Amino acid sequence: MIKIKWILLFCVFLAGYFLRVVYLSQKSLTFGYDQARDAIVSQQILKKDLKIQGPPASTPGLYHGVFYYYLLAPAYFFGQGSPIAAAYWIAFLNAGCIFVVFYLAYLMTKKISAGILAAILFAVSFEATQYATWLSNPTIGVWTVPLMYLGLWLWITKKNKIAPFLAAIGLGLSVQAEVFLLYHLVPLLLWLWLGRKNVSKSSLISFGLMFLATISSMVISEVKFGFKSLSGVVALVSTQDAIVAAKSLGDFILLFFNQLGRVFAFNSYPGNVGYGGVLIIALIVVSLISWSSSKNKESNISWQPFLATWLLAHLTVVSVGGTSTPFLLVGIGPAVAIILGIFLSSWWEKGQRALFVIVLAILLLGNLLMVTKENPRGSTIFAIQKDLLLSKQLNLVDYTYQKAAGRPFSVNSLTSPLWINIVWTYLYKWYGLPKYGYVPTWHGHGQEGQLDSLAKTKDDTKVYFLILEPMGGIPQRYLAETIGEEDSFSGFIEEASWGELRVQYRQKIQK
């Protein structure tokens, strides 16, 4: 039975990994500013330019950890700068969470069936497959957050000696991934208090030391750069953010449930946010009612309240900013798979076979249909510029070289963030240079202070291109302004497009 269990679990892992990478062969990968920046920084590390400061957070002054850069570095080394290679690597780690999900569900219920079902549901989870190839620092929270809860459960139920270290590593790496994931410290402290009979002083010391070691690069960064995060923390606590300050209590309550509904649905029934969200909320309520009315309840440590605190954990950060960022709830999805797996397993055991088959079929089909519909278009949950796909970008790069026909040419671009050409600089140097033997020059806004840039255009360059990124996140007025500026020194010949991604072929105006 044990061998069959592990063979089945390994098959679930392979199927889950396949679902995550199936469209990478088509280069269906969202590749924007953050992805290009991280690719460059990771390769700087490979050249022994070590880093201690991670990507900036949405709140000025706050920075995520540097761990993500180092995690990407091996993939960019072996993939020779290929974002596709990096996506395969991150997807592998994402799929590895299947084992964590299985083990947690099994530990909570002592039922292999609950573990296997939870693993299957996480394997096909639409949200999990979206995170798997989204090359951005929050994505590693998909497996670091469950790692923390696995360590926590082992700690408070079994006095496991490794558990405090596991919980500390999970929490520390989660904070490295997304600084706001520190909110998981709240349920962790709650459960350490409730399970204090199994929590020794030495285990608390072990947890504290390991947690500090895991976030040590962030501490060093703060010291080196003059504790810049303090201003960000003050702004959050004092609600200096204008958008946050303008909200009322009702707004935050509504936002909390809207965010939960989306995450619950994207991990259960993504075809309908309402149905999926209500389903998981209903299961949470039913599980808590069942637990509270149980005559055999001997302690507060049970899977029902434990999962509830995990599923509802982000309540503590809704009111301090970051209210529109879906990745604040990264790591909640595995808990959705676990509660679904537990209920499905119980329905089967109670003889409710028809309900089991119908619900499982709907969940599997709903996720698979959404994966096949959305994943060919990249990370659509997170991408603001929907057509900024690597496949389309490389088609654009090929187009410019084909029109140039071996002649030197110059590019300008309208980008998000404005006037930062880092995406196209990276693509021309990683993809264009090896294939065509040279890169274009640049004639747009100054790129001083950027991680990398193209050389400035020479006066004798006659072939010009204007790259127009999808307008999501770009104020509309800049489109007319950019084209107007371009018209002052180059003449329009033709335009090619790949969805909302466009490029204009132009010729320099002779003066």
d(CA 367, CA 131): 14
pLDDT class of 323 with cuts at 50, 70, 90: very low
What is the C-alpha to C-alpha distance for residues 171 and 229, in angstroms, rounded to an integer? 19
Q: List the structure tokens of 398.
A: 């090929």
pLDDT of res. 239:
53
Query: What pLDDT does residue 484 have?
Result: 94
326 to 178, 200, 356, 368, 494: CA distances (angstroms): 12, 36, 30, 21, 39
**Mean pLDDT for the stretch of residues 120-135:** 97
Spatial distance between the Cα atoms of 33 and 130, rounded to a whole number of angstroms: 18
At residue 195, φ and ψ (nearest 5 deg) are -105, 30
Q: Is the alpha carbon torsion for 449, 34, 475, 486 positive or negative? A: positive
Output the CA–CA distances (angstroms, integers) from residue 354 to 108, 357, 362, in the order listed. Answer: 25, 5, 12
Q: Could you report the per-residue pLDDT of 371-392, keeping only the tens digit for each?
A: 999 999 999 999 889 899 999 9
The amino acid occupying position 120 is I
pLDDT digits (tens, 9 = 90+) for 437-457: 999 999 999 999 899 999 999
Residue 353 pLDDT > 90, yes or no?
yes
What pLDDT does 316 receive? Answer: 83
Give the bridge partners for 456, in sequence order: 442
Q: Which tens digits make up the pLDDT trace of 77-105?
A: 999 999 999 999 999 999 999 999 999 99
Mean pLDDT of 16-37: 97
Comparison of pLDDT for 314 and 395, the residue scoring more:
395
Task: List the beta strands (DSSP E) in 278-329.
Answer: none
Contact 400, 500 (CB under 8 A): no
Find all residues with CB under 8 Å of 337, minimum gap 6, and list them. Answer: 101, 118, 119, 121, 122, 125, 267
Contacts for 267 with CB less than 8 Å, ≥ 6 apart? 121, 122, 125, 126, 127, 128, 276, 280, 332, 333, 336, 337
Over range 116-139, report the average pLDDT: 97
Q: Residue 247: is its pLDDT beyond 70? A: no
Question: What CA–CA distances, in Å, run from 458 to 163, 232, 405?
Answer: 62, 43, 18
Q: Please state the rounded mean pLDDT for residues 1-7.
A: 77
| Chain mean position to CA 492 | 39
pTM: predicted TM-score of the whole model, two decimal places: 0.93
For position 237, what pLDDT does the model report?
61
**Per-residue pLDDT at 231 exceeds 80:** no
Region 463-486: what's the mean pLDDT? Answer: 95
C-beta neighbour count of 44 within 10 angstroms: 16
Average pLDDT score over residue span 163-172: 98
Has residue 215 got a pLDDT over 90? yes
Which pLDDT belongs to residue 248?
65
**Confidence band for 322, pLDDT divided at 50, 70 and 90:** very low
What is the per-residue DSSP string for 391-438?
HHHHHHHHHHHHHHTTS-EEEEEE-SSTT--HHHHHHIIIIIHHHHS-
Quote the pLDDT of residue 252: 72
Model pLDDT for residues 297-320, shown as the tens digit of each residue: 556 689 999 999 999 998 887 765
Local confidence band at 295 (pLDDT 50, 70, 90 cut-offs): low
